[in-house]
Structure 1
């Protein structure tokens, strides 16, 4: 299945919190659901849960990165 990379705008404090939570084996449900909603807004159907892959390096404009598998028939 194709992967779609989702970038969610956030602030540096939240990015560090989500990264630390992920490193400890947890899940930030709020950002994961936001990634899922972004997939739907792009007209695609997620086939699984979003997977956290990291954060960008920006000082002001930080983004959370998620990979989401989507059904191939919904990819343009």
Structure 2
């Protein structure tokens, strides 16, 4: 199944919190749901939960990165 990379705008404190939760084996539910919603808005159907893959290291703009598997028949 195709993977879709999702970039979510964030602030530094939230991105640190999401990364810390990930390292503890926990989930930041708000950002995971935001990633799922972005996939739906793009016209794709997710096959499962978004997977947190990291944080960009931009000095000003920080983004959370998620990979989401989508059904192949929804890929344009």
Q: Name the TM tier (shorter chain).
A: over 0.9
Residue of structure 1 equivalent to 2:45? 45
Q: TM-score, normalised by structure 1?
A: 0.98
Deviation at residue 35 of structure 1 after TM alignment: 0.1
Residue of structure 2 equivalent to 1:71? 71
**Which runs of no fewer than 5 residues in structure 1 stay unpaired?**
none
Counterpart secondary structure, 1:44: coil
Q: Give me the whole-angstrom Cα distance separating, in 2, the residues matched to 1:47 and 1:38.
A: 14
Q: Where do 4+ consecutive residues of structure 1 move more than 2 Å? A: none
Deviation at residue 11 of structure 1 after TM alignment: 0.4
What does the per-residue CA deviation read over 1:12-35, in whole Å, with 9 as the maximum and x for residues that have no partner?
Answer: 111011000100110000000000
Instruction: Report the RMSD for the aligned CA atoms in angstroms.
Output: 0.4
Contact in 2 for aligned 1:12/1:59 (Cα 8 Å): no
Aligned length: 76
Q: TM-score, normalised by structure 2?
A: 0.98
